[in-house]
Structure 1
């Protein structure tokens, strides 16, 4: 029997049952915007995802729009947004808004064989609860269900801004890969099995990473080419 919470199918659950992952419907759009603004106060207004953007995400690819609910309160406390793309690994360096169709997901390709991680955020009030891990697990489950090649994203190296005057971004990323330096975003993603493919200049407008993105890749170990 499929588990549900307030009428929604539960896609993943924290071990103690306190938090669940569900598909985000249209009614969640205002709450999704609230989480986005709380998570990314340094993002420019042009790049922040509003309720209207989230509605567009849901219209183009509803399966890729996930939310975490607190089962005690029903409050939406975290979310992730994904779309499907065909990836040209020789030309991966694209600005975020170009890759996501101005954050509307008009670039979603129903035949795309990679899941592109446009966004993930946990409200500051709910951090440290393993919610990002829940969302990544649900994303990887979706990749397996759809038999996609894997997951790609532009990670924000948010620790770089503090040391940018001391080193180029290439050196910073290399030190993070080697474990010589910890980045609050990239280090966590590397521990989840993602690898660094390259650096994206002018990926987005955020001073904490000096506008850089890091193109990361997780390959689906269960991908079946013959079933694609």
Structure 2
């Protein structure tokens, strides 16, 4: 294993470090994607080649979590810079991420867009997604951006789809009456729901819906 770059963040117990993703990690990042989104359509999953392209286009926006004792890459996130028209926020995932190649990255964009986040199943429940969201928000602050946006996958919706529309499900998750494995985590990290994204992606776990979530940088006026 090549030497790791300087850690951007450490977990409270020191076991894990967030670093900028490196080319030698690409296969491990693809494996994390496969394990994190087993029901996502094949064309919407990121591959080794996609991750390598991301590192060339916007290296600062690519984060990996490494287990320090073993050097194993166990979690990751992908972000790019963009501009957001909140009056016309409806979009599809593949359009936003340019078919997962991130060629719509705007070096002058004033928002960070969260394209991907995943944790290996055997490493979940250890606060690794929290570390990645912290790293993303730190990047927003460092670049002086307005905030961070993402199309959240409400992956628990399939259990309730026959009983309620997506709007009610999201409302109940926001009110903490229901727990969603993705959206609830983002809400705890300070994100707020802006709207529903129909046909955001192709995944039965969320009924193909996305939830447009926004975290605003408290250090920047809007």
Matched, 1:86 2:78: no
Q: Which runs of 4+ in 1 moved over 2 A?
A: none
Structure 1: how far apart are the matches of 2:42 and 2:176?
A: 33
If the length of structure 1 is used for normalisation, what is the TM-score? Answer: 0.94
If the length of structure 2 is used for normalisation, what is the TM-score? Answer: 0.97
Of residues 186, 200, 216, the one that matches 1:219 is 216
Structure 2: how far apart are the matches of 1:108 and 1:7?
A: 26
State the 1:6 CA deviation: 2.6
User: Superposed, which structure 2 residues align to 1:169-180 within 5 Å?
Assistant: 169-180=166-177
Of residues 203, 216, 219, the one that matches 2:200 is 203
Structure 1 portions without partners, runs of 5+ = none
Q: CA RMSD in A?
A: 1.2
Structure 2: how far apart are the matches of 1:196 and 1:61?
A: 26
Residue by residue over 1:69-105, the C-alpha shift from the partner in whole angstroms, topping out at 9 and shown as x without a partner, is 0011100000000000000111111110000000100
Structure 2 portions without partners, runs of 5+ = none
SS at match of 2:131: helix
Of residues 119, 122, 125, the one that matches 2:122 is 125
Question: Does the aligned pair in 1 maintain the 2:140–2:146 contact within 8 Å?
Answer: yes
Question: Does the aligned pair in 1 maintain the 2:4–2:19 contact within 8 Å?
Answer: no
Q: How many residues align?
A: 221
